[in-house]
Structure 1
Amino acid sequence: FMIILAFAALFFKIFMLQKSKAKEYNQKILSQQKYDSRDIPYKRGDILDRNGTYIATSEKVYNLIIDPKQINGNQEDYLNATVSILSEVFGYSADDLRSTIAEKSDSSYVKYAKDISYEQKTAFDEKKEEYNKSYKESKSSERVYGIWFEESYVRRYPYGSSACNVIGFANNEDLSGNSGIEQYYNDQLIGVSGREYGYLNDESSLERVIKNPTDGNKVVSTIDLNIQKIVEKHIAEWQSSTGSNMTAAIVMNPNNGEILALATSRTFDLNNPRDLNNYYSPEQQAEMDDKAKVDALSNIWRNYAVSDTYEPGSPSKVFTVASAMEEGVITGNESYDCKGFEEVGGWKIRCVNRNGHGVLNVTEAIMESCNVAMMDISRAEGSQKFYEYQKVFGFGSKTAIDLPGEADTSGLIHTADNASATDLATNSFGQNYNTTMIQLAAAYSSVVNGGSYYQPHVVKQILNSKGAIIENIEPELVRETVSAHTTAFINEALRRTVAEGTGSAAAVAGYDVGGKTGTAEKYPRGNGNYLVSFIGSVPAQAPEVVCYVLVDTPHVADQARSAYASSLFSKIMTEVLPYMNIYSKVDESIDVSAFPTAEGITDNNTQKQEESKNYSTEEVIPNDGENGLPGVPAGEGEE
Structure 2
Amino acid sequence: MKTSRNGSQNKHKKIFSRYMQEKLAVTVLVITLALFGLAVKLYMLVDEKNEEYTEIVLNQQSSYNSRTLPYRRGDIVDRNGTYLATSEKVYNLILDPNQINKDSANYLETTVTALVDVFGYDREEILSAINENPNSYYVKFRRQLSAEEKEAFEAKAKEVNKQYIDSRSRKRVQGVWFEDEYKRVYPYGSVACNVVGFSFDNGKQGSGGIEQFYNDQLIGTNGREYGYLDAESNMEKVIKSAENGNTIVSTIDTNIQKIVEKYIDEWMNGIGSKTAAVLVMNPNNGEILAMASNRRYDLNDPRNLGAMYTQEQIDAMTEEQKSEAWNQMWRNFCVSDSFEPGSPAKPLTVAAALEEGVIGPQETFVCDGAQEVGGHRIKCVSIYGHGVLSVEQTLMKSCNDAMMQIAARMGVERFARYQEIFGFGQKTGIDLPGEADTAGLIFHADNMGAADLACNSFGQTYNCTMVQMAAALSSVINGGSYYEPHVVKQILNDQGAVVKKVEPNLVRETVSQATSDFVRNAMFLTVDSEEGTGKAGRVAGYKIGGKTGTAQKLPRSANNYLLSFAGFAPADDPQVLTYVVIDTPNLPGKEQAHSTFATEVFQKIMTEVLPYMNIFPDTDVAGTEDESLAAQGEGITNQNQGGLEPGGEAGDGETQAEETEPMTDENGETIPETEPAGEEVVPYDDGLGLPDTVAGGGQTPGEAASETLSETPPAPGPENAPEGQGETEPQ
Could you say which TM-score interval applies, normalised by the shorter chain?
over 0.9
Offset of 1:535 from its aligned partner?
0.1
Identify which of 369, 388, 413 aligns with 1:359. Answer: 388
Matched, 1:95 2:124: yes
**Quick check: 577-586 or 415-424, which moved more?**
577-586
- Separation (CA, whole Å) in 2 of partners of 1:587 and 1:310: 38
Choose the corresponding residue for 2:642, options 588, 601, 604. 604
User: 2:144 is matched by which residue type in structure 1?
Assistant: D
Question: Which residue does the alignment assign to 2:616?
Answer: 583
Whether 2:724 is the aligned partner of 1:633: answer no
The number of residue pairs the alignment matches comes to: 626
Distance across 1 between alignment mates of 2:373 and 2:499: 57
Give the direction of change, closer, same or farther, for the CA distance of 1:401–1:425 in structure 2 (3 Å limit): same
Does the 8 A contact of 2:384 with 2:640 survive in 1?
A: no
Task: State the 1:485 CA deviation.
Answer: 0.7
Deviation for aligned residue 1:603:
4.2
Conserved? CA contact 2:541–2:618, under 8 Å:
no
Cα deviation digits, residues 441-481 of structure 1 (max 9, x gap): 00000000000000000001010011001111100000000
Instruction: Tell me the equivalent position of 2:224.
Output: 195
CA shift for structure 1 position 333:
1.6
Between stretches 278-287 and 163-172, larger displacement belongs to 278-287
* Mapping 1:61-100, distance limit 5 Å: 61-100=90-129
One of 493, 516, 525 as aligned partner of 2:547: 516
SS in 1 for 2:88: strand
- 1:614 is matched with 656
SS in 2 for 1:627: coil
Q: CA 1:606–1:287 in structure 2 vs 1: closer, same or farther (change >3 Å)?
A: closer
Q: 1:378 to 1:337 in 2, by over 3 A?
A: same
Aligned counterparts of 1:164 and 1:373: Cα–Cα separation in 2? 42
Q: Give 1:596's aligned residue.
A: none
C-alpha distance in 2, partners of 1:29/1:614?
91
Q: Deviations over 1:217-259 (max 9, x none)?
A: 1110000001000101110111111111100001010000000
- What's the CA shift for 1:334? 1.7
In the alignment, the residues of structure 1 paired with residue 132 and residue 225 of structure 2 have an alpha-carbon distance, to the nearest angstrom, of: 29
Alignment of 1:57-206 (within 5 A): 57-206=86-235
Q: Deviations over 1:77-96 (max 9, x none)?
A: 01111111111111112232
SS of the residue aligned with 1:404? coil
Contact 1:539 1:586 in 2 (8 A): no
Q: Is the 8 A contact 1:248 1:264 kept in 2?
A: yes
CA distance in 2, matches of 1:632, 1:321: 22
Alignment-derived partner of residue 428 in structure 1 = 457
Instruction: Report the CA distance between 1:633 and its aligned residue.
Output: 3.1
Q: Of 579, 592, 600, which residue of structure 2 is paired with 1:559?
A: 592
What residue is the counterpart of 1:400 in the other structure?
429
Cα displacement (A) at 1:611 = 8.8
Alignment match, 2:667: none
Structure number with bigger Rg: 2
Q: Look up the match of 2:51.
A: 27
CA distance in 2, matches of 1:48, 1:28: 50
Structure 2, unpaired ranges of 5+: 1-23, 622-637, 664-670, 678-711
Q: Distance in 2 between matches of 1:621 and 1:429?
A: 20
How far did residue 355 of structure 1 move? 2.2
1:405-437: CA deviations, max 9, x gaps? 101111111011111111000000000000000
**Residue in 2 aligned with 1:573?**
606
Q: Which amino acid aligns with 1:521?
A: Q
Instruction: Verify: 1:497 aligned to 2:497, yes or no.
Output: no
Contact 2:563/2:595 (8 A) holds in 1 = yes
2:494 paired residue among 462, 465, 469: 465
**Alpha carbons of structure 1 residues 16 and 105: separation in structure 2 relative to 1, 3 Å:** closer
Q: CA RMSD in A?
A: 2.4
Partners of 2:461 and 2:714 within 8 A in 1: no
Deviation (angstroms), 1:275: 1.1
> What SS does structure 2 have at the residue aligned with 1:198?
strand
Residues 347 and 621, structure 1, Cα contact 8 Å, conserved in 2: no
Q: Which amino acid aligns with 1:638?
A: G
Normalised by the length of structure 1, the TM-score is: 0.93
TM-score by length of 2: 0.82
Alpha carbons 2:368, 2:641 under 8 Å: kept = no
Counterpart of 2:441 in structure 1: which amino acid?
L
Residue 222 of structure 1 is aligned with which of 229, 251, 268? 251
Label 1:617 to 1:185 Cα distance change in 2 as closer, same or farther (>3 A).
farther
Letter in 2 for 1:505: A
CA distance in 1, matches of 2:44, 2:133: 40
Name the SS for the 2:556 alignment partner. Answer: coil
Structure 1's 28 and 450: CA in aligned 2 closer, same or farther, altered over 3 A? Answer: closer
Q: Deviations over 1:127-152 (max 9, x none)?
A: 11111111111110111001010111
